[in-house]
């Protein structure tokens, strides 16, 4: 087995903690290192107690091998208990043993003996690092009581320790003992700080990872929120189209009656005169048929306009802006007449673009309906809505102008907000201008400007680039 493998086995079997609790694992790790170190040192001392009496049988005066063997067995016992998950028990026994040793040293050689004081310090530090602050406080209290009590016994001459060490010069052995104790305190403190620093690094790493996860989650939530808002806006826009169609339904049905009557009357006349068709002039028959065909075409136009208002079509196509505006004007003609409003079209030329014709039709419908509603409660002899279409270089300019009530200046920044409206609930949902702005910016890639003044009127100006179908037919 390689040396590295032996080292790994040594760490796993004797030192590394098996606890899942980070703080308990840190303390158990330090305890195991101290116990393993004590076992190694005690083993070396035990070997010396066996060899020295053999080499120096007459001059050996150290500890007996039985005492060192007992201490070695004791440290091994504490290590076994720690590895069995009883690290708190091992810590308590070890600290109490050192406290007893420090007290005995003070009792034997005096309360001010340096070795005892250093040993008390070591015990307090180990209690705080290996157990808890509360346990360290208890050990500190016991140590203080021991020092005060022994000092009192010495002062009152009730106990007389061995003071011979005070009359002797310091030996190197004493210095070595002091250095070893200070070294143990430093090692215990270093091990504790090392584990604490590792824990802090793990905490910082976890905090950074958590922050990254939080930022990622925020981005995901924001993205999902936008998707949900977009989906809700689409559903609301669809509902708005149906509600708008419901508002215009009575006018559409009224407009359908006249073409139906025209078709019906002309077909009836052809039916009644079919027996004498040979005697009639062909020109009269042709006129009747043309009137019937014209009526059916007007019916088809109205039905198509109505269908497009509730249709949800995304496929782009090339279409005529003038045709869409004309269809919207025809569809809204009855509502305009009912409000005594005249719609005037100024379409300078037939401009064709590639895009969503349904969206453009919805845009014009919303703007014209808004203009019609602007004349409510306005007493004016002539109520006019002007829809103008111009081509400016490679862009289109659409203007919808009315001379109605106008918009209050304080409301202008909010008119494109969803669900914002100054109209009664039965007159609107506050979605028309919001949907119009979305169509202009997202579908037509343009901009919408509004100019309004109370009592003078309002003009909506829409500008967007002319897009052609760039697909090649190969």
The answer on pLDDT for 268 being more than 90 is: no
Closest Cα partner for 153 from 196, 108, 116, 186?
A: 108
| Residue located via tokens 């116990």 | 35
End-to-end CA distance of the chain: 74
What is the pLDDT averaged over residues 29-58? 75
Query: Who has greater pLDDT, 307 or 424?
Result: 424
| Residue 472: pLDDT band with limits 50, 70, 90 | very low
Answer yes or no: are the C-beta atoms of 360 and 321 closer than 8 Å: yes
Question: What is the enclosing helix (H) or strand (E) of 83?
Answer: helix 65-83
pLDDT-based confidence at residue 425 (cuts at 50, 70, 90) = low
Query: Which class in CATH covers the domain with range 316-474?
Result: alpha beta
- Residue 170 CA to residue 177 CA, distance in Å, equals 12
pLDDT reported for residue 272: 60
pLDDT for 451 equals: 92
Q: What pTM, to 2 d.p., does this model score?
A: 0.43
User: What are the two backbone dihedrals, phi and then psi, of residue 314, each rounded to the nearest 5 degrees?
Assistant: -110, -20
Identify the pLDDT of residue 473. Answer: 38
- In angstroms, the CA 473 to CA 454 distance is 53
Tell me what the pLDDT averaged over the chain comes to. Answer: 77
Compute the half-sphere exposure of residue 348: CA atoms within 13 Å on the CB side of its CA: 9
Share of the chain above pLDDT 90, in %: 10
Under 8 Å between Cβ of 10 and 1: no
Token pair recorded at residue 114: 């340096």
Whether residue 384 has pLDDT greater than 90: yes
pLDDT at 9: 57
pLDDT at 218 over 50: yes
What is the length of the chain? Answer: 474
Q: Which structure tokens are listed for 49?
A: 């107690």
CA 293 to each of CA 132, 193, 258, 274: distance values in angstroms, whole numbers, following the listed order: 101, 98, 13, 18
Q: For residues 140 and 125, what is the distance between their CA atoms, to the nearest angstrom?
A: 9
> 404: closest CA among 439, 424, 435, 379?
379
pLDDT recorded at residue 461: 94
Residue 397 — very low, low, confident or very high, per pLDDT cuts 50/70/90? very high
Counting residues of the chain whose pLDDT is more than 70, the rounded percentage is 70
Point out which residues pair with 386 in neighbouring strands.
344, 401
pLDDT at 146 over 80: yes
| Between 96 and 474, the higher pLDDT residue | 96
In the predicted structure, residue 125 carries a pLDDT above the cut 90 = no
Residue 300's pLDDT is 58
Average pLDDT, stretch 291-299? Answer: 58
Tens of pLDDT along 270-291? 656 555 555 455 556 555 556 5
- Average pLDDT on 53-70 reads 66
Please check the confidence at residue 385 and state whether its pLDDT lies above 80.
yes
Indicate the helix (H) or strand (E) that contains 335.
Answer: helix 333-338
Contact 433, 411 (CB under 8 A): no
Q: Of the spans 12-16, 43-47, 173-177, 322-326, which averages the highest pLDDT?
A: 322-326
Residue 402 has pLDDT above 90, yes or no: yes
Q: Please give the residue that has the higher pLDDT: either 209 or 242.
A: 209
Cβ-in-10-Å burial (0-12, 13-18, 19+) of 112 comes to middle
Check pLDDT > 90 for residue 389: yes
CB 24 within 8 A of CB 89: no
Residue 464 pLDDT > 90 = yes
Q: What is the mean pLDDT of the segment spanning 185-195?
A: 75
pLDDT of residue 463: 94
DSSP three-state, residue 355: strand
Would you list the DSSP string of 165-211?
HHHSPPPHHHHHHHHHHHHHHHHHHHHHHHHHHHHHHHHHHHHHHHH
* Per-residue confidence (pLDDT) for residue 291, from 0 to 100: 58
Cα-to-chain-centroid distance, residue 12? 41
Contact yes or no for 40/14 (Cβ under 8 A): no
Indicate if the pLDDT at residue 117 is higher than 50. Answer: yes
- Higher pLDDT: 186 or 300? It is 186
8 A C-beta contact, residue 154 and residue 161: yes
Give the pLDDT of residue 61.
52
* pLDDT higher than threshold 90 for residue 399: yes
Q: Cβ neighbours of residue 311 under 8 Å, at least 6 residues apart?
A: 358
Residue 121: the pLDDT is 87
Distance, CA of 420 to CA of 423 (rounded, Å): 9
Mean pLDDT over 332-359 rounds to 86
| 458 vs 217: which has the higher pLDDT | 458
398, containing H or E segment:
strand 395-402
Residue 309: pLDDT over 70: no
pLDDT tens per residue across span 73-108 = 888 888 888 888 888 888 888 889 888 988 988 888
Tell me how crowded residue 138 is: count the other CB atoms within 10 A of its CB. 15
The pLDDT score that the predictor gives to residue 206 is 83
Which carries the bigger pLDDT value, residue 130 or residue 453?
A: 453
Residue showing tokens 């203007």: 399
What distance in Å separates the CA atoms of residue 319 and residue 469, rounded to the nearest whole number? 11
pLDDT above 60 (res 2) = no
Domain regions of the chain by residue span? 7-214, 316-474
């Amino acid at each position: 087995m390689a040396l590295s493998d032996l080292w790994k086995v040594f760490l796993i079997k004797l030192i590394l903690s098996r606890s899942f609790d980070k703080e308990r694992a840190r303390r158990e790790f330090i305890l195991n290192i101290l116990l393993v170190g004590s076992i190694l040192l005690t083993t070396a001392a035990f070997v010396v107690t066996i060899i020295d009496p053999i080499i120096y049988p007459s001059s050996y005066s150290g500890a007996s091998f039985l005492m060192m063997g007992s201490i070695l067995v004791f440290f091994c016992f504490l290590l076994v208990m720690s590895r069995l998950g009883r690290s708190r028990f091992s810590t308590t026994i070890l600290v109490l043993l050192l406290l007893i040793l420090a007290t005995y040293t003070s009792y034997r050689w005096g309360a001010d003996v340096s070795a005892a004081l250093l040993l008390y310090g070591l015990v307090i530090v180990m209690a705080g690092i290996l157990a808890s602050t509360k346990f360290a406080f208890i050990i500190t209290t016991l140590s203080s009581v021991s020092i005060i009590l022994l000092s009192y016994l010495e002062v009152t001459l009730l106990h007389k320790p061995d003071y011979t060490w005070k009359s002797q010069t310091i030996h190197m052995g004493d210095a070595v003992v002091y250095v070893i104790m200070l070294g143990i305190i430093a090692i215990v403190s270093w091990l504790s700080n090392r584990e604490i620093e590792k824990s802090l690094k793990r905490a910082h790493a976890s905090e950074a990872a958590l922050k990254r996860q939080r930022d990622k989650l925020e981005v995901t939530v924001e993205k999902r929120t936008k998707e949900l808002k977009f989906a809700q806006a689409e559903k609301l826009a669809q509902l708005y189209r149906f509600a708008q169609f419901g508002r215009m339904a009575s006018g559409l049905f009224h407009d359908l009656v006249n073409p139906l009557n025209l078709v019906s009357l002309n077909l009836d006349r052809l039916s009644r005169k079919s027996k004498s068709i040979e005697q009639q002039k062909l020109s009269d028959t042709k006129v009747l048929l043309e009137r019937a065909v014209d009526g059916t075409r007007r019916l088809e136009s109205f039905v198509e306009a109505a269908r497009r208002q509730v249709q949800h079509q995304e496929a782009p196509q090339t279409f005529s802006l003038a045709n869409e505006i004309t269809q919207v004007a025809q569809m809204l003609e009855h509502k305009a007449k009912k409000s005594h409003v005249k719609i005037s079209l100024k379409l300078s030329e037939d401009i064709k673009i590639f895009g969503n014709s349904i969206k453009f039709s919805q845009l014009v419908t919303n703007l014209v309906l808004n203009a019609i509603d602007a004349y409510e409660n306005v007493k004016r002899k002539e109520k006019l809505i002007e829809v103008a279409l111009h081509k400016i270089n490679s862009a289109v300019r659409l203007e919808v102008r009315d001379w109605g009530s106008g918009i209050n200046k304080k409301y202008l920044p909010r008119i494109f907000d969803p669900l914002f409206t100054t109209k009664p609930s039965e007159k609107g949902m506050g979605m028309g201008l919001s949907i119009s702005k979305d169509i202009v910016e997202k579908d037509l890639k343009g901009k919408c400007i509004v100019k309004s003044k109370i009592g003078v009127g309002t003009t909506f100006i829409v500008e967007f680039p002319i897009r052609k179908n760039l697909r090649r037919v190969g």
